Structure 1
Amino acid sequence: MQLRQGLPNEVGVSPERIRRIFTMLRDWVSDGTLPAVSVLVARRGTIFLQESFGTLGPDPNSPLVKPDTIFGIGSITKVFTATAIMLLVEDGLVGLNRKVQEYIPEFKGEGKEEVLVSHIVTHTSGMSDKEIRALEDKIWGKVDFPSLEPTEHPIQ
């Protein structure tokens, strides 16, 4: 799909709502609620909001955030990945019980051939608890964890 620039009303989105979102984001950065924001909103292949506000750091001389600024967002990508996969499932393009390797042939080695799309969406390996424990024992040996019972009476 090729994205193109357009207007919100071309794709059934209220221009007034987009103006309110734009103003809200700009104000959050202006009043310090957020240090920076970079947003792109599109529907049906039409981009109708793409703005960036704020700086890359707290220093007044920090560079401004641009539309192509890369942010470290860590684990939040899991939410986007799962949502995108479920949209593909809904469209019949991906099957939850299909092997990931059917879609990404390079995904192989060390048991990856058995990983299903559902494992990716649920952040599981496909291994049973018993298999995981056996693997942990093999890698680390038997670990003598300290007792979870208190060794002293808590302060009262």
Structure 2
Amino acid sequence: MPTPPASFGQTLANAEQILTVVLSRHLAERGTTPETWYALQVIATYGPGLARQELRERLEGSRTLDPESVRELLARLEADDLIRGDAEVDLTAEGQALHRGLREHIAVPTARLLGRFPADDIETTIRTLQAITERATEELAADEQPAN
């Protein structure tokens, strides 16, 4: 296996950092935070009927959320009538409308940014990052297995 370029981690971190700033600005135009967007996106992607525990774990895996902030976020989303459910969580009609509106709002700058690159390059990047994520997840799971 070839040695990965030394700049891989730094390049990935830089991309994540600047894209988070860009996303935050677009969401702020709609009065929404990245954490709210992320929660709505997770529920929309893995629901309906997403187990609350799985939702918590996915949100706590974010670099900006810890168990306490996840509890506060979910309580706020419930109080704002964006999500509902106890053991299983769904978007309410209002939550679905907000998610759809945010997705459409974000699609324009995303298309503008990514449209500057060949579609094949974008697709290759997505597949590569998905494969890296899958492999890293497998390695983490293997590391967590008790030694025999």
| TM-score interval (norm. to shorter) | under 0.3
Q: Which structure is higher in RCO with an 8 Å CA cutoff and minimum separation 6?
A: 2
Which has the greater radius of gyration? 1
What TM-score does the superposition give when structure 1 sets the normalisation length?
0.22
Q: Which has the higher helix share?
A: 2
